[in-house]
């Protein structure tokens, strides 16, 4: 047992072992400390959209710091094992030119990523449309941007390819909501319920701009119902939940007046 402990002690007291452990521990400590200070400084006092933008900047600088610290840690470990790091750095001039040519696309990704932030294209959490793919910006990195749509599909785009996008989060979504009512119901009766009961409740829906809620009139004479149109604005990423809440309000309010929502019916005529 004593001999075993001596062997273990002999191993861990070698510079090649404890040096690597200390290097990794210090590197991790520096990275975590840097990210905490970075988040505190950049996000201090910021709320709402500005905070989302600052979070995107924070993620970008965090990625840059991670790679820089990783490179320094690797060079330090190599020097511990006796590798001529100074010679390697001196030789990086020629190698850097070769690597630069090989990594042109990567540099384009990084440069365009910085440009995206500077020009305020989008931030993490925004809803954007890119090449007919619409979704939420899930992650923004040095090389790529991840976009997740409503179906859960994730599109990964190289930053260098993001030249034109439509940012749907920097303005409210206009929602056109049709209410289908039976032909048998007088228009005046339906419009009275809409104006007195439906619209006030629509204004209370979360993330809906109350001032934007308007009744626009009879929109369509469909096969089995009359469609009454309501318009309202809401946060771009909340439109589907707003519609679900609106559906519930319509069902509850019309059921109070013993009016059922129509459904498609087939009428058959036959001769005797």
pTM greater than 0.85 (yes/no):
no
Residue 24 lies inside a defined structural domain of this protein: yes
- Residue 3: what pLDDT? 64
264 within a domain of the structure (yes/no): no
CA dihedral of residues 154, 159, 160, 162 (deg, nearest 10)? 70
In a domain, 250, yes or no: yes
Q: What is the pLDDT of residue 191?
A: 93
Neighbours of 168 (CB within 10 A): 19
The tens place of each residue's pLDDT in the chain, 272 residues long, gives 666 566 566 655 666 677 788 888 888 898 888 888 877 777 666 655 566 666 777 777 787 788 888 888 888 888 877 777 666 666 555 555 555 555 567 777 777 777 777 677 777 778 888 888 888 888 887 788 899 988 889 999 888 888 778 877 766 778 899 999 988 889 999 999 999 999 999 999 988 888 999 999 999 998 888 999 999 998 766 788 899 999 999 999 998 888 887 766 666 666 66
Q: Residue 109 domain-assigned?
A: no
**What is d(CA 92, CA 78) in angstroms, rounded to the nearest whole number?**
15
Query: How confident is the model at residue 43, as a pLDDT?
Result: 67
**pLDDT value of position 49:** 57
Residue with the two structure tokens 């001039």: 93
Q: Are 153 and 163 in contact, with CB atoms under 8 Å apart? A: no
CATH of the domain at 135: 2.30.30.60
What is the SS3 assignment for 212-229? Answer: EEEEEEEEEECCCCEEEE
Domain limits at 59? 2-102
Q: Does the residue 157 lie in any domain?
A: yes
27 domain-assigned: yes
Residues 98 and 53 in one domain: yes
Q: Are residues 20 and 43 in the same domain?
A: yes
User: What is the pLDDT at residue 87?
Assistant: 64
Residues 75 and 140 occupy one common structural domain? no
pLDDT at position 102 is: 55
Q: For residue 39, tell me if it sits in a domain.
A: yes
Do residue 207 and residue 242 come from a single domain? yes
Q: Is residue 271 part of a domain?
A: no
């Amino acid at each position: 047992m004593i001999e075993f402990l001596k062997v273990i002690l002999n191993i861990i007291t070698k510079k090649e072992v404890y040096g690597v452990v200390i290097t990794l521990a210090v590197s991790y400590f520096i990275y975590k400390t840097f990210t905490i200070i970075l988040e505190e400084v950049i996000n201090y006092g910021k709320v709402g959209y500005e905070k989302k933008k600052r979070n995107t900047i924070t993620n970008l600088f965090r990625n840059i710091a991670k790679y820089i610290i990783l490179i320094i840690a690797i060079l330090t470990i190599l020097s511990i094992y006796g590798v001529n790091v100074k010679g390697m750095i001196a030789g990086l001039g020629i190698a850097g030119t070769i690597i630069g040519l090989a990594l042109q696309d990567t540099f384009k990704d990084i440069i365009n990523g910085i440009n995206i932030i500077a020009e305020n294209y989008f931030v993490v959490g925004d809803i954007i449309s890119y090449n007919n793919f619409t979704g939420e910006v899930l992650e923004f990195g040095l090389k790529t941007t991840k976009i997740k749509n409503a179906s859960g599909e994730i599109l990964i785009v190289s930053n260098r390819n993001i030249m034109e996008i439509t940012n749907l989060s920097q303005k409210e979504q206009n929602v056109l909501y049709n209410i289908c009512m039976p032909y048998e119901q007088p228009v005046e009766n339906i419009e009275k319920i809409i104006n007195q009961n439906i619209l006030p409740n629509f204004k209370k829906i979360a993330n809906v701009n109350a001032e934007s809620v308007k009744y626009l009139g009879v929109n369509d004479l469909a096969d089995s119902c009359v469609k009454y149109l309501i318009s309202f604005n809401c946060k771009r990423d909340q439109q589907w939940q707003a519609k679900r809440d609106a559906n519930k309000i319509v069902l509850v309010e019309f059921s109070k007046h013993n009016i059922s929502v129509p459904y498609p019916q087939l009428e058959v005529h036959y001769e005797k």
